[in-house]
Structure 1
Amino acid sequence: MTKRMILPLIFGVVGAAILLSLGTWQLRRLAWKEGVLAEIEARIHDSPVALPAAPDPETDRFLPVQAAGRFTGEQVRVLASVKRVGAGHRLIAAFETDGRRVLVDRGFLPLQSGSEALPEGTLTLTGNLHWPDEVDSFTPGPEPDQNLWFARDVPALAGHMGTEPVLIVAREVSGQGGAVAPLPVDTSGIPNDHLGYAVTWFGLAIVWLGMTGLLLWRIRRKTV
């Protein structure tokens, strides 16, 4: 080995070590995220409890609840789409229970469906508390004249409909009928890209080592 090869070799080894460590870190993050998702999934399908007096967006997220009451007839549509079904709306309705008014995500209504009749009288619903993070700088504002929203912005919807800033995403609603299909909370919308990141870092490490080997080979040819 010539002196001219030492610096490129050190540079190549250190760079590859950094890339490999980043890939390993992503694998650790993958294991952590899978554990978190397993905990969330277990909580989602736990036995439902009564609606808390003052639900907290952090500690009570995904909490399964059951509530008896009635829909008031007030509702808005949130633009949505479902795989293999197409475009439609989530129906967000005001729900009265034990002297309280909360929001309920009743489920999905395809665009081609007719008018959806709200069930009358007292009914029972089971679902999960949720505060979706769906609003960013690109989200259009609501169109009140069309009763159309583009995200489930719980505080804004609560202000618009005069309810608590609490959303129950329905899993089952007694007497709802088949027009509206519940879209229960699950973990499919929670990103878990750590495996892809790990593969990327390990791939870059392989490329880095290959380029280092090629550089060392060219330096050696010139010095022979």
Structure 2
Amino acid sequence: MAELSQQPGRGPVRTVFAGLALLLALAVLVALGTWQMQRLAWKEQLLAEIAERRTEAPVTLAALEAMKASGGDIEYRPVTLSGTFDHARERHFLATWNGQSGYHVYTPLRLADGRFVFVNRGFVPYERKDAQSRPEGQVAGERTVTGLARDRLSEKPSSLVPDNDTAKNVFYWKDLDAMAASAGIAPEARLGFFVDADPTPNPGGLPIGGVTQFDLPNNHLQYALTWYGLAVALVGVSGFYLWRSRR
């Protein structure tokens, strides 16, 4: 009899718990959608800033270093620098260009003070990885390079990205420390960023400069609509269930 007397009270309790669970799920979905909208605003502002930076006049290397030392954002800022390429130490980053497989050639540029900065001189096809297959592009003497500053990565961007194969001089992500170490450049002798060279043609046509990619993924609006849509669907399904229950 005691068990039977408790049965009627279970319905309201279940209703309360179901209502709380519904509100919690709805709050999570709305919060995720709102977060994606905030990310959308951030990404659009970032893209606008990058587009504006790319049109600025190139700064000197000293000005760029001072900007980075003060905590400023150097990503995609135009810069001009001079030095001598050390082609024997070029590093190869696996890449595609216009649907063709190959490598981006990162060559240390030796500055007047003896330090090095890795310059992405551009793309070479897979079969032209060996520098001896493109001798015309191994320019000698002091060169002036104009390009875009690219900040270093602090870690591998994803666990899906393969580990760099320093033994074969094939890099899958731009690990500045590993690139410099494998090229025999001490940490204190290299700058803490890269430079992507502009499209100025190289002798012999290789490497092909101006390979910087600006199409940053921006799917935040799609994600936001998905989360908001799930929230609306949850309300609709719950409302329909409540209406059926009352009938």
Q: TM-score, normalised by structure 1?
A: 0.79
The within-5 A match list for 1:23-172 is: 23-52=33-62, 54=65, 56=68, 59=72, 60-74=74-88, 75-85=90-100, 87-99=101-113, 100-113=115-128, 115-117=133-135, 118-133=138-153, 135=156, 136-137=158-159, 138-144=161-167, 146-161=168-183, 162=185, 163-165=189-191, 166-172=193-199
Bigger-Rg structure (1/2): 2
Residues 157, 9 of structure 1: alpha-carbon distance in 2 compared, 3 angstrom cutoff: closer
Distance, in Å, in 2 between the alignment partners of 1:21 and 1:77 is 43
The alpha carbon displacement at 1:80 in A equals: 1.6
The alpha carbon displacement at 1:34 in A equals: 0.4
Residues 67, 212 of structure 1: alpha-carbon distance in 2 compared, 3 angstrom cutoff: same
Residues 45, 176 of structure 1: alpha-carbon distance in 2 compared, 3 angstrom cutoff: farther
Q: Percent of aligned pairs with the same residue? A: 32
Distance, in Å, in 2 between the alignment partners of 1:124 and 1:172 is 13
The CA RMSD over aligned residues, in Å, is 3.0
Distance, in Å, in 1 between the alignment partners of 2:55 and 2:212 is 10
CA contact (8 A) 2:123 2:211 kept: no
CA contact (8 A) 2:166 2:182 kept: no
Q: Write the deviation string for residues 111-145 of structure 1: whole angstroms up to 9, x where unpaired.
A: 1447223123332211112134372555323232x
SS at match of 1:92: strand
Structure 1, unmatched stretches of 5+, are: none
CA contact (8 A) 1:124 1:173 kept: no
| Structure 2 match to 1:216 | 242
The alpha carbon displacement at 1:203 in A equals: 1.3
Residues 24, 185 of structure 1: alpha-carbon distance in 2 compared, 3 angstrom cutoff: same
Residues 21, 103 of structure 1: alpha-carbon distance in 2 compared, 3 angstrom cutoff: closer
Q: Write the deviation string for residues 164-205 of structure 1: whole angstroms up to 9, x where unpaired.
A: 1332111144644422222443432x4433212201111101
Question: Which amino acid letter does the alignment assign opposite residue 97 of structure 2?
Answer: V
| Structure 2 match to 1:196 | 222
* Of 182, 187, 202, the match for 2:214: 187
The alpha carbon displacement at 1:26 in A equals: 2.3
Higher RCO by CA contacts (8 Å cutoff, separation 6 or greater) = 1
Distance, in Å, in 2 between the alignment partners of 1:155 and 1:143 is 11
Distance, in Å, in 2 between the alignment partners of 1:14 and 1:199 is 19
CA contact (8 A) 1:70 1:121 kept: yes
Q: TM-score, normalised by structure 2?
A: 0.73
Residues 206, 96 of structure 1: alpha-carbon distance in 2 compared, 3 angstrom cutoff: same
Q: Write the deviation string for residues 23-58 of structure 1: whole angstroms up to 9, x where unpaired.
A: 234223312220122112211332111112746385
Question: Which amino acid letter does the alignment assign opposite residue 156 of structure 1?
Answer: A
Equivalenced residues, count: 216
The alpha carbon displacement at 1:21 in A equals: 4.7
Distance, in Å, in 1 between the alignment partners of 2:28 and 2:172 is 42
SS at match of 1:20: helix
| Structure 1 match to 2:232 | 206
SS at match of 2:181: helix
